[in-house]
Chains A and B, each alone.
Chain A
Amino acid sequence: MQEHTQLSHKQINEDLLKGVLTVPKWWLPAVSFLGLVVLTGLGAFFFMMYHGLGVTGLNRPVMWGVFIANFVFWIGISHAGIMISAILRLTQAEWRRPITRAAEVMTVFSLIAALHTPLMHVGRPWRVLYWIFPYDFSRGIWPNIRSPFVWDPSAVGTYLIASSLFVFVCLLPDIAILRDRAKKPIVKKIYAQMALGFRGTPRQWKLQILAGILLSALVLPVFVSVHSIVSWDFAVLIGVEGWHSTIFAPYFIIGAIHSGVSAVAMLMALSVWLYGLDKYIKPDHFDAIARLLIVVATTWFFFFFLEWVYALYTLAPPEIALRELQAFQWPYGPLFAIFIITSFVIPVPLWLFKRVRRSVVWMFWTTVLVNIGMWLERFLIVIPGLIRRTHMTFDWGTYHPSIVEILIVVETFAFVCLGMLLFAKVLPLVPLFDVKEGMVNRRLIKVGRRVIPATIREGLPHHYYEKKQ
């Protein structure tokens, strides 16, 4: 019965605003440490900008390195927010409610983190505006719309704007609560500005819900297009055998969902541990997300299998040589083994056990493993792909990331963590109104001698049946 206790409004407010209204002991040290890492990374970036890309490990033909692998990874993580929020909202999955906000916020921060690296890694970062801004400036040339690199910023930009809007719309009722509770006048004023005068009238609620549903439906095509386009950055090139594969777009998306949803499970575990939200994020939620992950991971693995099968199906020597490099040669062979084991072989069989699915600790560590594996997956696509075992053996390359690159990659991780922590200090990481709505909709149903949880369905309006039938 622990699973379906009803909580009062008051208690929900108290529990969920705890992170905002009080400062946990670990918060300041954690933020300062992460801030330091971010500053170091930014320092490394300015060092790189000052001296040129020579300070990286890039060379010919490996023109893209861990930066791009990292970019793909973060874009992948960013798919979690929409996956959890929009799709689960449209399919009316009840268990989404306490975890939507964290997932959406992670989307926003990981998108910004993703944008870091490609913008940093161009040769002349001070001219990036010519690339990402669709305007002809004084040069008289518009960006080249044939280039996937122009589709990229437009898709990622749209996604960033849409998901920020989505976060904001979902935040409105909660900001209004914070406005009413804030003590310092200046803080109250800021929250009041942000709340856009939300008072909780029926009309405001209706608009807020409508905006949420519309945004989640409209953001779905963007969600699909973002990673498809990222994959086309690679797949359209006929010169790189390992990349020129039609499966890339769906493969990237399903991989993104795999790592993104795993990241959400990590976040759930962290919010249980750090903010004590075990009354809201329960074993049931971990169970549901693990079931979802089993399906996603298996589908992803099938896509991965197809990509490999078709690479070998070409019978082209460069393809086969590339696969050999990816899977068997130092140092990629061990990485490949780690990637397969951590992203599929260990977690999925574990998730088949109910005890694992319902345990916070197990879920945290298995999803951490998945993300290690998925980062390596991107690395193994980008780098061995470029090292290129082509017919021209003269141009086979190698690549070792330099310390500057590693610092910047670490910086993106610290940036997202820092962003989440700062956000949680200012705004609640679990949506108050969504949880309350779930409580209102929650009922219990008696089946025989057992009582099981039930919800009010937002199906067809009742009068619809009476009128039409």
Chain B
Amino acid sequence: MVDSNKWGMVVDIDRCTGCQGCVVACQSENNIPINLEEHFNQRRAIQWIRIERYWEGEYPDVKARFIPIMCQHCGSAPCEPVCPVYATYHNNEGLNVQVYNRCIGTRFCANGCPYHVRFFNFWEPEWPESLKNQLNPDVTVRSRGIMEKCSFCVQRIQRSTRESERDNEVLEDGDRGLNPACVNACASNSLIFGNFNDPDSTVSKMKEDAMQEGGRGYRLMENLGTDTNVIYLRKVDEFVVEAPHG
């Protein structure tokens, strides 16, 4: 049992197959409106987690590289201090949380975010009639004019921590449906979620292993000093991965 939690994720790029399962899971868990083709064309699609696909090399030696990118829950986040109404702030569990009700939609945070993981509701969200009954009752439906982003499925974290406290039990990896929807959906196990403050958790061990000298771990855009809570593990193959961490 640890005093405070620091939620985080380890993303093993080596295992990622780019199947987009996490994207779909996230979409349905978090009441994200359906992204139509026109949304993508307008660059207004909302995807709390997205798979960025990069082509590498020249034909015929072309390789596809995938990197899942979600909110990095930065320890020192560029988006937080710039919000004039405290709609986004850092909570004591290491999460960068968005309070929808406070947000007035200045979109300053979206410009500040170097990872482009903040999304703006340009329209009132709409679902086809058939899908209205599948909305998740634990998650707010965001109206137009506000920002939203990955919350590490904070509703699941809340529920499982609350229940484990009620039962006076130690919450371990994946207990009581702790894992975010994307982690549960990941078929290749490339997303691992857990508590960085708990030295016995899988993510802590992986982080320790990966971040040592010569390890595979890195953070996205480490030079910005954002101190992210998402650790990426480099791809293992003979080609050097041109990972976007410049």
Contacts and interface: CB of A to CB of B under 8 A. Distances in A.
Whether A and B touch (Cβ < 8 Å) is answered with: yes
Nearest to A243: B111
B102 interface: yes
B83 A124 contact: no
Given A123-B103, A130-B104, A60 B84 contact: no
Contacts of A62: 43
Contacts of A391: 221, 244-246
B90 interface: no
A237 B111 contact: yes
Contacts of A398: 43
Contacts of B112: 237-240
A236 B54 contact: no
A139 B81 CA distance: 19
Contact of B145 (A53, A141, A237): A53
A390 B145 CA distance: 26
Given A386-B111, A394-B52, A52 B123 contact: yes
A144 B107 contact: no
Residue from the set B44, B86, B106, B221 with the largest chain A CB neighbour count within 10 Å: B106
Most chain A beta carbons < 10 A, residue from B108, B144, B221? B108
The 5 closest A-B pairs by CB, nearest first: A123-B105, A123-B145, A239-B114, A59-B43, A54-B122
B106 A122 contact: yes
B125 to A, nearest CB: 10
Given A52-B123, A123-B121, A386-B111, A130 B44 contact: no
A144 B43 contact: no
Given A54-B44, A239-B113, A392-B244, A63 B82 contact: no
A139 B102 CA distance: 9
28 contacts: A52-B144, A58-B107, A59-B43, A61-B110, A62-B43, A63-B111, A63-B120, A118-B106, A122-B104, A122-B105, A127-B104, A128-B104, A131-B104, A139-B102, A144-B85, A147-B83, A149-B106, A233-B108, A238-B78, A239-B111, A239-B114, A317-B246, A391-B245, A392-B69, A392-B244, A394-B54, A395-B52, A397-B43
B241 to A, nearest CB: 13
Interface string A392-410: 1111011000000000000
B146 interface: yes
Nearest to B87: A144
A218 B82 CA distance: 28
Given A122-B145, A124-B104, A149-B106, 17 more contacts: A51-B123, A53-B105, A54-B144, A59-B43, A118-B106, A123-B103, A123-B107, A123-B144, A141-B85, A143-B86, A146-B82, A147-B83, A149-B84, A149-B108, A239-B113, A239-B115, A392-B52
A240 B115 CA distance: 10
Interface residues of B, number: 43
A392 B244 CA distance: 6
A390 B114 contact: yes
Interface of A: 51-54, 56, 58-64, 118, 122-124, 127-128, 130-131, 139, 141, 143-144, 146-150, 233, 236-240, 316-318, 386, 390-395, 397-398
Given A141-B86, A143-B85, A147-B81, A238 B114 contact: yes
Contacts, number: 141
A126 to B, nearest CB: 9
B146 A124 contact: yes
Nearest to B146: A123
Contacts of A53: 105, 120, 122, 144-145
A59 B116 CA distance: 11
Q: Which of B85, B103, B221 has the most CB of A within 10 A?
A: B85
From DSSP, what is the main secondary structure of chain B's interface residues?
loop
Contacts of A395: 52, 116
A60 B44 contact: yes
B130 interface: no
A58 B110 CA distance: 12
A62 B119 CA distance: 11
A403 to B, nearest CB: 15
Interface centre among B69, B81, B111, B115 (most CB of A within 10 A): B111
B91 interface: no
A147 B111 contact: no
Interface in B197-240: 221, 224
Interface in B63-101: 69, 78, 81-86
Contact of A239 (B81, B124, B224): B224
Most chain B Cβ neighbours within 10 Å, of A52, A60, A146, A239:
A60
Contacts of B81: 144, 146-147
B44 A131 contact: no
Contacts of B108: 147-149, 233
A123 B106 CA distance: 6
B215 to A, nearest CB: 21
B168 interface: no
A357 B105 CA distance: 47
A131 B147 CA distance: 15
Given A52-B122, A128-B104, A143 B224 contact: no
Contacts of B104: 122-124, 127-128, 130-131
Contacts of B246: 316-318, 391
A41 B17 CA distance: 50
